[in-house]
Copies of this chain bind each other. A is one copy, B any other.
Amino acid sequence: MTSVSQILHRTVRKFETRAPLDEGDREALLNLPYELRSISANRYMVREGDRPRGATLILDGLAFRQKVTVEGMRQILSVHIPGDFVDLEGTLLKVADHNVQALTDCEIAIIPREAIIDLVDTHAKVAHAMWVDTLIDSSIYREWIVNVGRRSSRAGLCHLLCEFSRRLEVAGLSEPGGYDLPMTQEQIADALGITPVHVNRVLRELDDEGLIVRNKRAIRVPNWTALRKVAGFNELYLHLDQVRPVAPMAMSVSS
């Protein structure tokens, strides 16, 4: 399939903006062994307590990290898009401390743990690039803490929309016209730490005010500036200066 090498090249290019790579580094990345796998929406890629056998690269579709409390409440921690590794940490830490679930049907490549360990042992610059990548993830977690801790549900929801759209855009995965957020209201609720019922009301409120226009799960934003203002969105935390934008490409988001 062309799609695999296409995504791998995209990921290599992303890493090159994190740290300068030489030809050997690029080649080592492109020649990583992998196993292709299809995962349908809502299935688990990683479970808390697992000792992952490999790192997972998303080729197509979306995934999210989550934890559930002892009371059974789920909190979504981050959303990931094609080209993202979703458990590099699982390769370096011993056990997974959270779950990873497919948000939509996904195509993934599983790279054996030993191959990753060998790669980072022998290619310092690749390791460096991956480290920077995980540091950017950290920054996104920090902003997420602010989002659930100190923003109103209105602002938090707008912030989620802003972050997601911006990341898709930079990855070259957004359609120019609108933007399809393939999350159920329950998932949005779990991302914001509120209830699905309340998500519904806030969405309607934003729609009534004209900040967003909904058509099923597709959301159009007529005025990004206005939405960013409500969200208090400052994209510094995405560290886009360490990410060179990429030419657009269609992503199938079949939920």
| Residue interface bits A124-157, CB-to-B below 8 A is 1, else 0 | 1001101110111111011111101111000100
Kindly state the separation between the CA atoms of A128 and B74 in the bound complex, as whole angstroms.
32
- Complex CA gap A143/B98 in Å reads 9
Asked if residues B89 and A139 are in contact (CB atoms below 8 Å), the reply is yes
Residues of B within 8 A of A142 (CB): 65, 67, 77, 97-98, 141
One of B51, B74, B232 near A69 (C-beta < 8 A): B232
A117 contacts the other chain (CB 8 A): yes
Residue of A98, A117, A135 with most partner-chain B CB within 10 A? A135
State the main secondary structure of chain A at its contact with B.
Answer: helix
Q: Are A127 and B138 in contact (CB under 8 A)?
A: no
In the bound complex, residues from chain B placing their C-beta under 8 Å from that of A192 are: 149
Take A94-B241, A124-B121, A236-B95 as given contacts and tell me if A69 and B248 are in contact as well, using a CB distance cutoff of 8 Å.
no
Q: If the complex has contacts A124-B124, A150-B69, A246-B92, are A145 and B144 also in contact, measured as CB distance less than 8 A? A: yes
* Chain B residues within an 8 Å CB radius of A201: none
Contact across chains for B132 and A134 when beta carbons are under 8 A apart: no
Contact status of A139 and B246, CB under 8 A, knowing A132-B92, A144-B145: no
For residue A249, which residue of chain B has the nearest CB? B114
Question: Complex: how many Å from CA A73 to CA B192?
Answer: 17
Question: Which residue in B114, B131, B139, B246 is a CB contact (below 8 Å) of A97?
Answer: B139
Q: Mark each residue of chain A from 187 to 212: 1 if its CB lies under 8 Å from any CB of chain B, else 0.
A: 00000110000000000000000000
Q: CB-nearest residue of chain B relative to A114?
A: B248
A71 to chain B minimum Cβ distance, whole angstroms, is 7
- Map CB proximity to B onto A88-102 as digits: 1 under 8 Å, 0 otherwise: 010011110110000
20 A-B residue pairs with Cβ-Cβ distance under 8 Å, sorted by A, are: A67-B142, A67-B143, A69-B155, A71-B232, A75-B149, A77-B145, A77-B146, A92-B128, A93-B239, A94-B241, A97-B142, A97-B237, A113-B251, A127-B128, A131-B131, A134-B135, A141-B141, A145-B148, A148-B193, A149-B149
A residues whose Cβ falls under 8 Å from a Cβ of B: 48-49, 51, 65, 67, 69-71, 73-75, 77, 89, 92-95, 97-98, 113-114, 117-118, 120-121, 124, 127-128, 130-132, 134-139, 141-146, 148-151, 155, 192-193, 232, 234, 236-237, 239, 241-243, 245-246, 248, 251, 253
